[in-house]
Amino acid sequence: MRAKLRPRLILRWIHILISIPIYGYIYSPFEKLPQYARPTRFVFFPLMVLTGLLMWKGHLVWRLFGWQNKRTERA
């Protein structure tokens, strides 16, 4: 169980850390929005969506590419 939990834990922390600039974008003063717009739209938001999808349906992605857990191969 520990080996299966580690990639999900890493993805969860990346997801949380990437979402911090998005909160800054949403709650920043209107004058500062042009500074945050490009990195938020093209870097932080797509990475947050990608990590969220990998946490949600990552098991299907790993199966699609043939990367399986060693415990599932033995069973």
Q: Is the dihedral of CA 10, 25, 40, 35 positive or negative?
A: negative
Cβ neighbours of residue 12 under 8 Å, at least 6 residues apart?
A: 51, 55
Are 51 and 9 in contact by the 8 Å Cβ rule? The answer is no
What's the pLDDT at 69?
A: 58
pLDDT at residue 71 above 70? Answer: no
Give me 3's structure tokens: 């080996």
Q: Is the pLDDT of residue 16 over 90?
A: yes
Q: What are phi and psi of 34, to 5 degrees?
A: -60, -30
pLDDT at 36: 83
pLDDT at 74 exceeding the cut of 90: no
pTM value is 0.70
58 pLDDT more than 80: yes
- What is the per-residue pLDDT for 42? 94
In this structure, what DSSP letter does residue 7 have?
A: H
